[in-house]
Amino acid sequence: MTAFNNSAFKNIGLIGRLGSVRVVETLKRLTRFLDSSGYHVIIEDRTATVLLDHGHAEASRRRLGELCDLVIVVGGDGSLLGAARSLCHSGTPVLGVNRGRLGFLTDICPDELEARVGEVLAGQYEKEERFLLDAELYRGDEVVGRGDALNEVVLHPGKAVRMIEFELFIDGHFVYSQRSDGVIIATPTGSTAYALSGGGPIMHPRLEAITLVPMFPHTLSSRPIVIDAASEIRIHIGETNQTYPHISCDGQTRAVSKPDDVLVVKRKPQRIQLLHPLGHNFYEVLRSKLGWSNRLGD
């Protein structure tokens, strides 16, 4: 993580979670602050539908990354996940304002909006990179589904209440065959999300590692494993499955598999650039969000 002391932000993009009055209020407040500070504001086209008569330029999410020096996301971690998948291709830095629940990624509190955003725009921030995952579903030699994820790729039974049979290969090496409700393939960013609820380990964001967390495996010996992020993960869907397992990326279904399909998951070449106010501390975030105890005597 690197601290910067100068800034070149001129064009600022805004993305907000739809369906929230609090998000709209914060977006309006943020827009007024940016306007008064002399920045050129561009609003994502879908976000603009809840900001009537805003008077600013509009652009699609992907176009926003091409036009802006910084994109500010107002919402929860889910909002930032969606923005990250679109913006990683342009390398545009992303800053999160929390209007959600836990807020592992969106770490600016609305009560400190102007002060904290102002500090970042003045060049007082910390920058870190997070890698994403690419997922492709093969049926023979044909790609029949694909997606990308900042948190996790999940193989699961969908609405069916049936176990899935599959084989796991890492870098071409057979690891195991398994009957379970599926498997969570998570980045360090996703280690504090769905994978955590499945019993997976918490990983520091700077780790170049992927964790595979089995979901309710039909064996007591199956445990999460952590592998090199450069690995290729291949999951061969069993030919005898009586259900069609789903592949979800960051909670959104991207493909439905058939028996004998192969899911391939790799680290994505592009990365998302996250900005944090100075003083951001991963372990402090864990203590705050997960309710860990403070030091003795505090």
Residue 160 vs residues 13, 180, 236, 250, 275: alpha-carbon distances, Å: 41, 13, 19, 20, 40
Q: Which residues of 78-111 are buried (b: 16+ CB within 10 A; e: fewer)?
A: bbbbbbbbbbbebebbbbbbbbbeebbbbbbebe
Q: Is 77 a catalytic residue?
A: yes
Cα angle 171-238-143, degrees, rounded to a multiple of 5 = 65
Catalytic residue among 45, 53, 69, 77: 77
Please list, in sequence order, all residues whose beta carbon lies within 8 angstroms of the beta carbon of residue 55, skipping any fewer than 6 positions away.
none
Distance CA 201, CA 240 (A): 32
Handedness of CA 44, 45, 47, 53 (dihedral sign): positive
Closest CA relative to residue 15, chosen from 91, 99, 128, 90: 99
Contact 133, 279 (CB under 8 A): no
Contact 185, 152 (CB under 8 A): yes
Question: What is the DSSP code (8-state) at residue 112?
Answer: G
Contact 44, 17 (CB under 8 A): no
Handedness of CA 188, 98, 49, 62 (dihedral sign): negative
Structure tokens at 146: 């694909």
Strands 57-59 and 40-44: parallel
Catalytic sites, residue numbers: 77
